[in-house]
Each structure stands twice: as structure tokens, then as C-alpha cells.
Structure 1
């Protein structure tokens, strides 16, 4: 080493950003808490729940976590927190997000961010006014099949896509009850806003703004109060048509994706494995082996003229799913090193479609949407061949 060599003294390590998590039901316990804890640069500080069973569940996995009985306790100690994550019932999303932003705290909200696009845009305006991050947890942008399809489109493997079929179907002949299946409009329940938030967001990310929406929505199960079998047809501004199905009454499940292009099609069965892994207690911890991988038997197929069910087309390795990428991106955005991975304006564009679908199903009409300004677009068009995530 020469005498002219210099050494840079590394700065102190960054303290982790402290997270307050509101809600510890399905969304909070299965998705948000494990992903927050697995993200470098984040620390789960406080869980808001008054349910003693849920507190015990959280304490068993996160022994150092604090608890609060209401979100107000977080605002009283806002200086000790760096991010609020809202995983409470849908009807609480807007008031809690509004209060958090008012307390000067960045916010992640589970989908749907609001019941209407207007409310989502009001939240976006408030966050911009306060100079705070407002992000929406659209984790299905990091599903294995979606990442694979986005790559195939970006690489031109399908030619010009003209039809996108997406199914998020389940077989649950007996309603479980609870707010998610409530018929009360204030609860923002039903599959259109639950699973529909995912399939619509994915369609807009892949193929750009919607200009027309048609929908059929039914309540099929005895005792059910909210839609449990819904179909949406979207015409995108670029001419692509998306046919989207969400159902709890599918006795035989269709393909998750069937995508038809000018030179080839892609068909993929089966759901991304990450939710099942999280439910089973697996965690995306570095060094614990691969995450989001699926067996070769579940890979989709690409080709033309033959059915994948009879061996037609060539198998295409499914890219590993990557839910941890969402919170890694949120961390980078809070540190000023990257962009918000899912903005409230993007979520508002999806809500425009969901509201149009609800009207279409109710009135039996096709709904035309007004042209959206470029800044409000939820997507990267498939035409520009860029990765959407």
C-alpha cells in the first residue's frame, strides 16, 4: 500500500425504521408483520390490537414488540415511529391513514386503500401536501406468475398481446362470515374489492389505463351477503382486452393466467406459493433457503396451437415470487433512495375500474371511463417493453 492511499471511515450504521402495525388479523399476522420483520432496515415496534389472543400470537413470534389498544396511542408517540402500516378492516383505512398523515407519519395501507377513487385521491393529495410517503400494499405485483408474465411481455415472447385472462378462484361453498363477506356497503366487503383489487391492479400494470368496463356480479352461496362470483371485462386504451374472474364458488379452478398474443400464448395454473408458506409459518429470512420457488410441475407453458393440458407448448420456469421486495422498496423510498413502489394514485385508477364494475353489474351496462392524466396512470404499457415492477 502506498503512502498516498486514503481510507474512508464508514459512517455509523443506519438505525432501523420503527414500524407501527395497525391490525393483527389475517393481513397483519400473515403478511405484514413477517415481511416487515424480514426486511433489512425495518423493525416492528408496535402492534395495535386489543384482542388478547392476537397479542399472544404476536408476542410469541416477536417477543420485543409493544402493544397499543388503539391507533391514537401511536399518534401520541409519533416521534418514536417512522412508518405506520394499516392492516385493519377496509372501512377503517381512510380514517386511520388520514390521522397518521396528520400526525406526520408515512403510511402503508393494505388494499383497497379506500372505498372510492375520490377518497384515494384525497389521501394522495394530503400525503403530497405533508411531504409524506403513502403506499398501497399490492403484493400480487410480486407474485411468481405475474413476474414471469411481465418478463415474457417485456421480452416480446408473446408478440402483441390482445387478450389477458386472469382468474383468482377458490372453492369455498360455505361462507365464513365476518366483515369481508358482509353486505353492509360501509364494510367494503365482497370479492370485487377483495380479490378484484389484485386482478385489476395487475391488468392495469401490464396493459395500461382502462377505457371501458363491463361486469357481472352475483351472490351464489346460501347465507352470503356480498358478491362471491364476479367477472370483469376491461378494454384498455391500447386495445388489449382483460377478462378477469374472482370467485369463491369455483368447483373446478381455471388457469390463473391465459394470455394470448400475436405469436404465442402463455397458460399458467396454480397460485403463487408465498401466501401458503407464510400461513404455514415459513419466513423469507436470508440464508434460510430459496423463497417463492415452485416445483417444475407447476410451471406454465408457452406456445401456439395446442393445449398445455395435453403437453402442448414449452414449459417456462416460473420466476420466484418476491413479496419481500415490496417492503425493501418502501424502505428505500423512505431513505430517499428509490420510488414509492405503489402509489395511491395508481390505487385510485384501480378503484375507478372497481367502481365502474359495480355500476355495470348493477345496471347491466358497459361503463366508459374518462381519459386519465398521465400522472394518474396505474401502469407501464406492454407496448413500451419495460418491466412494470
Structure 2
């Protein structure tokens, strides 16, 4: 039987990420999509088996669901997830899990007490450049890593009326809440827990209510220093990754291609999905020269492949929700809470 899935929210998260990924796995069936936006409702017609609904309560009161995916504005995540847990429906929550670590931890506790699977969509663990970097580190190519520089930047100098631009930090607004969960999670996955946090959070755009140009420096228990940049106001970008080890330096440029490919209408099972069309590579440089390293294909659909197995009792969930709680604790430290 198919895993009958409802998606709450059909903005970038639902339309560009979750729906195409879920539809690419034959074990899942999208049976409901929640959106109030008429244009997004029209886009949902791509998924013929899905009923398009305006009210999330109509979905959460159904008794025929095997999974709910929550990808609505950040401040709604916890309340909707709590409702799904109460209905005994396994739930995927887009990052961040909540707008505070206390809120997120309470969700984790409720899900555990109810025996309901709860996981968080940390899809950037399956970016092609991150997979490539992880392999190089695991193979010892860089030696002992000392510095991890990671940047996720774009150029959007004018505010919009989207909730990501209008929400205050207490409601999960700002680029630290938007991109920080990804960059922090990647750093924690590679180098372990953090013992010190330094933050520089700036508002560059006229009328900004939340940070839009931010920097974190994390000191890991392992001794590695992670330096994380995130910005909506960068006219040109730093390297996506620059990782300094005792033997070599890894450098890659540009963001993973899966998001723009999906926006352009390509789908996860299409040839070349997850691979840069320009054939770009990463580089390894050291005292004896420099060479190119092919980038592995990105595979965000691996999240749902692992989740599908977990929901039928075959393996663990793709992301431990406590990882997301730890990420929120680091964000709160950066915000001075």
C-alpha cells in the first residue's frame, strides 16, 4: 500500500522541494495539498491524485493519512506538528522544527511519548557538494581539518511582502532562521558538537525587521572552527565551501543545482537532475599542486527513500529530530537569548 501523504504549504518548500521528491518515490502517494493561494493551487494540479484544500484542519482531521509534511511559515510549524502528533500521524517538519529550542524539544517529547515518528527535512545533507566534501574528509584527503568555511548567499537587495522578509526573529524571521539550520546542521554533521558561538547579525536592507546578512563562528569540541556566512545582500558570492586541513584545502563554488532545476520544471528522476549542467568541479590544493574533484550528484530524494523505509520498520528516520533542537539552541545563543 502507498504511504498516503498530505503536504501543508505549497510555497517554495512544498512546490519546489517536497512534492517533486515525494512523487519520485513510488511508495508514496500525495493525497492532499494545503494552500490558500490560487496560483499555487493551480500548480498543484501536477499531482492529479491530490485534493487541494485551503484549511489545514480539514487535512489533520482525516483518518486515512500515513504522513503529514509541514512546510508552512516557521511560526506555524510547532502548532501543526503538535496537531499531527495528537492525531497519531507521522510527521515531517521543514526546518526549523520550531521558533525556539524549548518549543522544538517539547515536540520531540510529545512525539516520543505518543510513539509517532517525527523527523526534520534537513535536505542539505544530500547536496552534491556536501556529499563530495564529506567523502574527501572521510578518505583523509585533507588530513586533520582545522577550518570549515561555508557560505550560502544571494542577491535580493529589496524586501518583499513574503513572510520570510516580514517576520520578526521571535516568529522565525530572518536569514539566520532561514539558512542557519542548514549551515549549522552541516557543520555539526561533519565535526560534532559546539562549545562556543560568536555571531554578527546585520540588517542591510531598508526597513528590514530581521537579520539579512549574518555570520557565525562555531568552535567545535573537536577543535575545528566553522565559519558560516549567510546573506540575501551579496552582489557576488564567496566559495560555497573552503575547508582547510593539515594536508590540503577543498574549495567548491556555487549552490547545489537541485532547487533551480526543480523551479525550471525538471524532476528528480530526469537525467542529469542533481548535476551541474556546466560540469563544474571542486578543487583540492596543497603544497604539491592542485587537482579537480568531480562533484557527486545531489540527491535530496534520499531523504524520502530513507523515510519510506523507516515508516515500514526498515531502519531509522533520515534525521534525528534532536539534531534540529541542537541547531536551534545554537541559533538562540547567536541571538543572545
TM-score by shorter chain over 0.5: yes
Query: Are residue 68 (structure 1) and residue 53 (structure 2) matched?
Result: yes
Q: Retained in 1: the 8 A contact 2:29–2:49?
A: no
1:37 paired with 2:23, answer yes
Which of structure 1's runs of 4+ aligned residues deviate more than 6 A?
A: none
Q: What corresponds to 1:294 in structure 2?
A: 276
Which residue of the partner structure matches residue 299 of structure 2?
A: 322
RMSD: 1.4
> Partner residue of 1:352?
329
Q: Look up the match of 2:242.
A: 258
For residues 109-143 of structure 1, what are the alpha-carbon distances to aligned partners after superposition, in whole Å with 9 as ceiling and x for unaligned?
A: 00011011111111111111111110100111100
Match of 2:13 among 16, 27, 31: 27
Q: CA deviation at 1:182?
A: 2.0
Bigger proportion of residues as strand: 2
Contact residue 38 and residue 284 of structure 1 kept, 8 A: yes
Deviation string, structure 1 residues 305-348 (Cα, Å, up to 9, x no partner):
59xxxxx6100000110011001111111011111111210100
Find the counterpart in structure 2 of residue 219 from structure 1: 203
**2:108 maps to 1:124:** yes
Give the whole-Å Cα distance in 2 for the aligned partners of 1:198 and 1:63.
32
Shift of 1:276: 0.5
User: How many Å separate the matches in 2 of 1:65 and 1:24?
Assistant: 12
Instruction: Report how far residue 186 of structure 1 moved.
Output: 4.2
Written as runs of structure 1 = structure 2, the 5 A alignment for 1:1-389 is 15-59=1-45, 61-78=46-63, 80-285=64-269, 288-295=270-277, 297-305=279-287, 313-359=290-336
Q: Deviations over 1:208-245 (max 9, x none)?
A: 00110000010011122211100000000110000000
Contact 1:40 1:328 in 2 (8 A): no
Question: Which blocks of at least 5 consecutive residues in structure 1 are unaligned?
Answer: 1-14, 307-311, 361-389
CA contact (8 A) 1:296 1:317 kept: no
Scaled by the length of structure 2, the TM-score of the pair is: 0.97
Q: Tell me if the contact between 1:179 and 1:187 (Cα under 8 Å) persists in the aligned partners.
A: no
Q: Aligned partners of 2:39, 2:236: CA distance in 1, in Å?
A: 36
* Larger CA deviation: 61-70 vs 312-321: 61-70
**Cα distance change on mapping 1:67 and 1:291 into 2, 3 Å:** same
Counterpart contact for 1:180–1:187, Cα < 8 Å: no
For structure 2, the residue ranges without an aligned partner over 5 or more in a row are none
| SS of residue in 2 equivalent to 1:53 | helix
- Deviation larger for 320-329 or 63-72: 63-72
Distance in 2 of aligned mates of 1:316 and 1:95 = 44
Q: Aligned equivalents of 1:23 and 1:224: distance in 2?
A: 24
Number of aligned residues: 337
Query: How far did residue 249 of structure 1 move?
Result: 1.2
3-state secondary structure, aligned to 1:63: coil
Does structure 1 conserve the Cα–Cα contact (< 8 Å) formed by 2:27 and 2:308? yes
Q: Deviations over 1:165-222 (max 9, x none)?
A: 0000111111223210125344311100101111111000110001100000100111
Partners of 2:42 and 2:166 lie apart in 1 by 27
